[in-house]
Structure 1
């Protein structure tokens, strides 16, 4: 189902799907079971064999834009600190003092020239080196080179900060993305945008239920009749399968003017939303004038909980041609719309789905041929689990 068509041709293919009241489809309906969203053993495997083995996005680069800026993130396997170094690079560490295990930082973000443990005031430099052992004349001999912060593999690419949530792993984002998706992201120049706002929400819902909802073009008119359903066509997706990753074009209803009229060479970018899924847990939405990133992470211990983060990435003020007040007002409005749809419409449905999955006799459920992105997500996570199990033997 992979295509190499230019964007305007792919948009025109979406128009043809719309004209024919259809969508791109997989070969068959597949089934799944409720335990995939409740089983603690499977949840542990997902943490280890997916997030502990492959890169995932934790932030946009501008969220820690200056030296000594940091953020803290609860990953599935580790609590981590990501900190911008003096030389402009980014490094990530386990958020834990090597003395007695207290968390170094509890703030979500900040800026400091060293990290100081609140328990006994041991401190660490931004590069992870053990800086201070308080009252070291009484503590005893310690090899400081062996007791710095534990480093987590990290790479900055395409304007994002990526990690593999495993101190013993390596990271190669370009290889993980593959040549097609790596080139696609490079073409977007996301590193030239700024993160206008980022926020995270802890939800009583398995991470896969959350991720599935934001790959789904089938629910729009039913779950969002007064919001997204008025804007985006339901169940029309011009889909591209890149193996681990995907993208699809969903036409907006403004495109209907071209159903009876040949658009010729008219650029049609303003008439679509383009969704990218970056395995294992990120949905990148390309809107006509900005990008949104939605990420979903498993809870560290509970398969019925997860954390969702959303980011709005926009052209910087100085390149927008807008006054600061108008620039802020515009993106605040976009942010508020996204928040309202999530909290008022998506989240209540997904919480109920998780409750339903707790039924002992749920029976098998289905993914349709039309649910292409959801099928790919399930196909690829199953591959990662199989590879992880094989490697663990």
Structure 2
């Protein structure tokens, strides 16, 4: 173990706070337990990474859930599978709970699914060198899920879960969330019964956590023009066509909104021509057109990222105003669909970051600070951020999430388990 920093204890309200104190004898035992069980921890990570659990692979998501459920059962948690309506085409969620009267009531958040569906090339857990391993979802977020379990196992080995209230909630569709209130109704209920939410999405490293995350929503733009011979383009009787109207709108979005902090909007798909079909569910478009025909229709699909609901609504107002200023003989319409809300920074969230910083310093790992919200996407924790103090980015570190060759930093992984275990311990005293 690295040399421990000497510090003194302090309290801010009921929170463990940033005052220097060295690890107690009990905390040193927790760290020793984490280190002792690292081979089994890595075996568990390898086991779940080697099961494809793309969001739409319902059997695979449930299979990963079954693996984790056995681990929680062994720790004395009460476990249940929360199913989703069949028409939602989602696997459901794993919930593990224990109740007591000691310390804060914790909600530990993970997810079972990955972006890698069965029709994509499969990458098993593979050690690349002494500090890196690869595999589907190895850091986003099966590594984070395993950190939760390994931390709880270290606490249980030392009799430190007794009389605590902890809910571990592993959703089955974080990457492609199911539609409708049922998708997260139980999740919200569990959050309202908790004091603190800790989410184990990918870490930016040992020294950064997330006290805020941007939300996400989607938009769809449709433009219409007059079909005519291309030689008539721009004539008053023919107008500018649907594709030029789409281009006008997109460029105006870029010019008028692109400099606002934390606000981004990306047109991810565009189709335009004489005949257009766009399947939103499959994110797939088909188009027929000729260069000598003015396109009568164009479709654009995009996302909108924001930090607060106010920022989201203000952006939508501006985007609607831009859409309304049509080119000659064209018209356009834009629709918006909500996704995940934003998670703004709060004093309570910062206190959790301060706790992480103190634990990190006590472990000899150096300081931790809140990262830039603009560097992170949306996550499940945002859904419950309005109900309790929240912190994210406590999971595994690595590179290339959501892409072939995703990696995990295996040197930092055990240190992140130690940090998580001590945070849970201090919060539940």
**TM-score (normalizing by structure 2):** 0.21
